[in-house]
Amino acid sequence: MKKIAIIGSGMMGSALAFPARENGHEVRLVGTPLDRDIITACKQTNRHPKFDRAFPEGVQYYQFEDWKQAVEGVDFVIGGVSSFGVDWFLDNVLSELSPTIPVLSVTKGLINLENGDLISYPEYWKRALAEKGIRREICAIGGPCTSYELVAHDQTEVAFCGYETKIIKMMKEAMQTSYYHISTTNDVEGLESAVALKNGYALAVAMTIGLVNRDLGPDAGLHYNSQAAAFYQAVKEMRYLLEMQGASRDCENIGIGDLYVTVYGGRTRKVGILLGEGKTYQEAMEILAGVTLESLVVSRRVYKAVCRKAELGKADMSLFPMLKHAADVLDNGKDAHLPWEEFTFDQTT
């Protein structure tokens, strides 16, 4: 039996308590300062407010002020914060946690540097900690997985990445179940790039669903031609970007799977549909008040990075019409109708 602490009791961090505890491990779920009500509810009901299934018996709950007690003697920590909590997690947990305790992060996203490079959160944390004299490698989870379906025990395929093979294999052994299937890779930047990039592109694909509602009427039903066309373009642009990131083909494929599930079952779908229906960015944000929308952060950062690469002559902006369109819809008030003709190609001679 292993001891596992999960810091961050949002939906994905909390969902991982299910396979961990069902495998017989001691699981300690710790809330951030923003999760106080969640942890209180868990203590009272043994159920996360967003889930329709109780936690397995034996999960222990901690408010954040007790996090150091929660990590005593653990085999590893799972970081369950959103991308908006990256710096908070760095300053309040990673900088204080013993470097001997391995960390597995569920946080998806990328940081754009001044030279146009995009780095993963594990790399960002590693560099920031090194400046403090702390050496730490951070593992991460990537792949098509929605939290509520993991809780429901739907068959799920993800990957764990990290540079220390022994550690990621230990984590896999602790977490894999009959419904939670885990690949392993040392390609940290490739996997983390793949599962982050899909957020921005899922936003654009989801716009087509709202556009059908707007152009053909709310009773038109689901139409798949436009979704498929946008999906094709999203995959094409993601592949260009992942080539720039040096991602392996397997990590590329995981990113495409993650794009699929995000289009059909995530928060990004909601904002994309609203934009497609003709809502402004501000109107969409007001409707979805309180919903964490990491896809918008990724879209802006990736677009800014590609623009910078293009300025330096290291990228061709004409290869990224969908990325540019998403950025224009978000920040320049452009209508959501996609630039379809820019997605076509001519390979005739």
Angle at 8 between CA 4 and CA 11, to 5 degrees: 100
CATH class of residue range 193-343: mainly alpha
d(CA 79, CA 139): 10
Of 120, 297, 271, the residue nearest 200 (C-alpha): 297
- For residue 330 the two structure tokens come to 């978000």
The ranges assigned to domains in the chain are 3-186, 193-343
Residuewise pLDDT in 10s, the chain (349 residues): 999 999 999 999 999 999 999 999 999 999 999 999 999 999 999 999 999 999 999 999 999 999 999 999 999 999 999 989 999 999 999 999 999 999 999 999 999 999 999 999 999 999 999 999 999 999 999 999 999 999 999 999 999 999 999 999 999 999 999 999 999 999 999 999 999 998 889 999 999 999 999 999 888 878 899 999 999 999 999 999 999 999 999 999 999 999 999 998 778 899 999 999 999 999 998 998 877 777 788 889 999 999 999 999 999 999 999 999 999 999 999 999 999 999 999 999 9
Judged by DSSP in three states, 280 sits in coil
The CB density around residue 92, as the number of other CB atoms within 10 Å, is: 17
The architecture of the domain spanning 3-186 is 3-Layer(aba) Sandwich (3.40)
- For residue 320 the two structure tokens come to 């990224």
